[in-house]
Structure 1
Amino acid sequence: MDMRADQQYNPYRNFSREQWAKLRDDTPMTLEAGEIAALRSMYDRLDLREVEEIYLPLSRLLSIYVTATQRLYYAQRKFLGIEDRKMPYIIGVAGSVAVGKSTTARVLQALLARWSPRPKVDLVTTDGFLYPNAVLERDGIMQKKGFPESYDLPTLLQFLSDIKAGRNAVRAPVYSHLTYDVVPNKWVEVDQPDILIVEGVNVLQTGRLPRDGKAVPVVSDFFDFSVYIDADEPVLRDWYVRRFLALRDTAFHDPRSYFNRYALLSDEEATATALAIWERTNLANLEDNILPTRPRATLILKKGADHVVENVALRRL
């Protein structure tokens, strides 16, 4: 056999959009057009067809995974002879800046919350676990905001550990995209959800292996399923620039905005600024930290230039 190694040992099953859409089977559409529009980020694309052909099959698949995991959990609990609290099912959503992670996470939350018998589905982003800007400035890594070292990893790991242990009223810090900073003394409480979706650029990041063999937990250790939203770098760059230009005309005009200084830039100046930020920070983070984690995802959604998912890859069991 003359088969390329990446095909011979590929741990994924690959599906065209048409093949994947057929896997919806009889999964009902539980969202209306107006709800779908509300779930979409203003810089992303999402319509009824995308939900029907991509996210309903994914919702069906997740229902199978969640049910199987719950059965295994109860079987293990019976084997050990222990009485634990319920174990939340945790889904990670990863991918580059501007790829549409927030839209995917919100669509999944909306669809999963309408399963019978209406599970409690919460959503948190890892932005709240970034170090405050003052700390990043002090440590000289403000230009690396979003890189693994810019997160308060111990606090994030403790949060996920408490969630997985079934503790109630677990607090997550709140982040403001307007001020581009963690909001002091403000939290959101996550209280024993059935399903928790965790969205962030580096949630599939691994840690450096210790020489002494001691355990080094990483965020994805707490995931039961993970989704990586993928797109080619030139496409991501274009989406980022378009989003920057849209924000220049809207949110940047708010005096409280961290990026208010960019509000009066011309199209040419704003484009040049966005490209510089992309090259200096987002592209470097993508190449060094985010893209290398793609093979760790359970499912990969590959988008084309029009924000429509073209291919789906599912990790084999």
Structure 2
Amino acid sequence: MEEAGNGQYDSGESGDYSRFGIPDAPKTTVTTPFGKAKTCAGLLPKERWFLVLSFINILAAIGLTAYRLVVVAKDDPTNSDFTFTILIIVNAAFVAFYVLHGVLRERKYELYVQIVAILVILIYCIVEYAVKTDTRTTVKLVRLIIACVLAPPNIILSVFVARDFGELEFRIAGASAHLQRIYNEAAIFSCWLKFDLQVTVSLVILALQDGTKIDTLEIVTLAVGIPYTFLWDVFGWFVLRLELGFGAFVFAALGLAKPAYYVYKFVELYRDLETHTHNNIITYCVIICGALAVLVWLILMVELVRVFRNFGKGLKERGRISFGAFTLGQALGTPN
């Protein structure tokens, strides 16, 4: 990056070459309230192919699953297919976000999480078709075939795309190995925040069992649990972005409600397994998803400590320069 005449750094988003008789080159990056992002002109050919393949896969999964959801809701809403179809749609939406945000913001860890999410959806499709032999349908078979055919090349292409990221990291953190390490740790923490939201929402959906027999506690879980998790993760993002030292302690304290709920759910499921009051397939899925949620929460707390130790070491100040005129303070209408 070159230093501009006004004391700021040229972000490389555009260049005025008209005075030399040369047309301006298309912008390859743009500054948003959330940081730098690539434009369509800045995408490499393989990144464009990756986006096209990913969204074909996602739209096919959502379309077929939505059709199945309508059929199940009309014919037999107590069927556990109702829960699985909602779960696939929600996870497909997260995959879409990881793909778009990961490519445009060059977040390689989000593409890796996207791979995990694709595998989770693939497992859902396989379990739903292979285990529940009495409810096999043509839609389920087509969805399974599409998932098995498109998932492998999508995963392989994700790895090739992610490993070539680095342009935005250099523009934000510069050539300093120290700042690049801090930037990577911040990106990892941000990625785990999103994955935490995904697994928590998935767990809540699975905990509803067939989606129709909802008691008071489950209503509270839906009305409070998902918004609480969303706001908690958003707050964690602000703590990271603004390097709020005291906010990190508040974030950790508020997060204790999550493992408390997980433990309660495990105890409740153990009792259900003894009395056989719930669908065993979904119950085992809840246990697996709950264990994953606990693991994600633990990793997130470890990453919180790591990014907290990096507060005040120059990344936020570097970000104010690299993000140019669109710093977070200006996005909120406040001075820098």
- Given the two structures, how large is their TM-score scaled by the length of structure 2? 0.24
The structure in which a higher percent of residues are helix is: 2
Q: Name whichever structure is richer in strand by fraction.
A: 1
